[in-house]
Structure 1
Amino acid sequence: MTLPVTFLRLLRAQNEMVGQKRKKSAIAAEVDDELKEKRRVQWKLNQRNSRQKRTNLASTLTKENSDAAEAIEALERRLEALAGSAVVAREPMSVFRGNAAVRIIDEYYQVFQNGFATCPVQQQFQYDFVRKIMTTSTSFMNAQGAESVVNQWRLMTTSHHSLRIRPLSCEYMKEEDGVVVRAVS
């Protein structure tokens, strides 16, 4: 049986179209593979850049922290040097160590050496201590009474990142009804 020529032509044309479709799908697959490879390479670059940025930031922050710690140490050494060499017309705390009033002031400085405490139990201890040693007429930074002392300590502690108070000298004065000790820190 012989097939008509037109049918053969149609068959050939159909085979050619199938071949072209295969070629097109192969080309499309290659293009997809190339795009996937480009995306994968770009993702790797982005990941590497991101890691590098994080590493650089961490090293920068570490260096800044160590620089700040060194600056703090230098300032503390300078403070110690200034405190040791200051010429003041007052007597150092050690001169009055035997006096009860000065011992109380010394203890006051120990209780508040780092400012107002963050722990409620320590806060209560500080508050009770101040109420025991100070009268209602106690003057502290232009405020009166024990509560004003505690409020001033709260303000100073919240206003500063870190706080360290030490007595440098004191003035001891006797009055008719008691003793006044003025400490300089």
Structure 2
Amino acid sequence: MEMFQTTTVLPVNATMALLKQQEVAQDLTPEEQAERRRERRRRQCRMSQRRYRDKKGSAEYNLKLDVNNLREHVQRLRGVRELLETKIWSSRLARDGAVLKAAEQYYAIFSRGMHNPEAGGGRAHEMQVGFVNAFMDEDVVFGDSRGVSGVLNQWHLYTQFHASLSVRMISAQIYGTEDAPIVIVKGVLAVRLNRSSIENMFPHIIANEELVQVLLSREIEYPTSTTYVFNERSQIQRQDLEIDFVTGISNRLGSTYATSRVMQRALISDCCKLGQVSSPDVEVDVRLRMPYILSSDTVV
């Protein structure tokens, strides 16, 4: 059996080049051959580095594209946020303006207290009642009472128990949320006391005519702080009233001790309400009785 051996046939030029390289390699010294091998490795290394740089450059380019896309997306989101903030701010300004305007109108309408329909103030009285019904929730909470009638009743009593009365707004601050804003109004209640004031608010000092005359002689200004809690319909659902009687009377009398005598049994209840407290029929310390106070050597 004849055996056939397969051989690779190279092109003539390639064969001649290979033979030439082999001849050249045989003519090189070992040092030259080593240098040639090092040069060959350097060329391979440079080619590998070039391929790596090309690959790395492509990755960096793609990364830059991603970063630019993210920046554009962030910029669009910022624009959306600014638009929403503008809308929210505009809505908040509109809400704040509405509740603040309502509080200002409330003080303006009751600037001289409650008008008396029996004394020619029927039209003004109707306007006040109508405004309160629109301004306040029908179940408005005021101290221990509920309903608009409790608020109107206190305006009536404050007006009835004083010779004159006026209120004015000093400042207002708005707090709370968009659905439940809270307005805190600082103001002044200016009054002239009369005998009805003493009888209904400070009956325990009636016997001290000198003290009574000092209180009746001039106008008294009480600092006030009123908190209005609004509902989602921009109506007041709660009103808390604070009247600083102590400061007002102290400024008028010029004596902290005399002021304590006036205020210690005043018929003024929580939320500064009038007409709801009776003088307690309890045993009082002898040091608080009028003869002791009048004979006291206490220095004010």
- What range describes the TM-score normalised by the shorter chain of this pair? 0.3 to 0.5
Query: RCO greater where, 1 or 2, for CA within 8 Å and sep 6 or more?
Result: 1
- TM-score normalised per structure 2: 0.31
Structure 1 or 2: more strand by fraction: 2
- TM-score normalised per structure 1: 0.46
Structure 1 or 2: more helix by fraction: 1
